[in-house]
Amino acid sequence: KRTVVFISGGGSNMMALVQAAKSADYPAEIVGVISDKADAGGLAKAAAEGIATFAFVRKDYASKDEHEAAILAALDELAPDIICLAGYMRLLSSAFIQRHEGRIINIHPSLLPLFPGLHTHQRAIDAGMRIAGCTVHFVTEGMDEGPAIGQAAVPVLAGDTAESLAGRVLTIEHQLYPQALRLFAEGKVKMEGGKAVGATAS
Ligand code: GRF
């Protein structure tokens, strides 16, 4: 399955997907990496892997619509079966999501539906959580609301800071996301009637 990954930063999740896709039996091929930041560290990492990279900087466009239109035109060329958001820090419009309905997945650094949005690790610590983790989910029009494909958890340890917890969660993100993409690319999980139907990634 042709897969395009969207990033805004270092792209460690994108690289975990790139690494996984190197296995002969992996059902997805990363055919492009798109960023909204020209200086996203992940772009250089993807280029070093020989993957086509594209930066669409928001301030270069008069409106969100024109920004998305440029991205959609690149996607029409890349013709992805799957779009993976991986540390992509921009909300996609309803029109964009409808255009690619059921083909977009995302990784979020919390056990959704707990802690949608930002600063998830600090919020988990402040709430006294004893576990934290990450969720791979289908992208729907609401932020971080789509049905989950898989989740992975870690303990919250005494003395944890947002940084120490983020590091522990990021490690399992890099294991969960390739598993979730594998299941999705193999057709073992899909979104039907707003629900994830099929296998669970862990
Ligand atoms: C990760 O915590 C991911 O869950 C969130 O963005 C952070 C950075 O991701 N969406 P990456 O290193 O750019 O993949």
Q: What is the DSSP string of 14-49?
A: HHHHHHHTTSTT-S-EEEEEEES-TT-HHHHHHHHT
Residue 159: the pLDDT is 96
Residue 123: the pLDDT is 98
Residue 19 vs residues 95, 107, 199: alpha-carbon distances, Å: 31, 17, 22
Complex ipTM over 0.90: yes
Arithmetic mean of pLDDT, 79-88: 98
- Percent of the chain residues topping a pLDDT of 90: 98
For ligand 1, whether the C-beta of 116 sits within 6 Å is no
- Annotated binding-site ranges: 11-13, 64, 89-92, 106
Residue 195: the pLDDT is 92
Arithmetic mean of pLDDT, 67-78: 97
Judge whether 108 counts as a catalytic residue: yes
User: Using 50, 70 and 90 to split pLDDT, how confident is the model at 186?
Assistant: very high
Residue 8: the pLDDT is 98
The answer to whether residues 51 and 7 touch, using CB atoms and an 8 Å cutoff, is no
CA of 131 to the centre of ligand 1 (A): 19
Residue owning the nearest CA to atom 12 of ligand 1: 12
Measured from the CA of 15, which atom of ligand 1 is nearest? Answer: 14
Alpha-helix residue ranges (DSSP H) falling in the chain: 12-20, 41-48, 64-78, 94-99, 120-126, 162-185
Mean pLDDT of the chain: 97
Arithmetic mean of pLDDT, 70-89: 97
Residue 40: the pLDDT is 98
User: Using 50, 70 and 90 to split pLDDT, how confident is the model at 91?
Assistant: very high
For ligand 1, whether the C-beta of 87 sits within 6 Å is yes
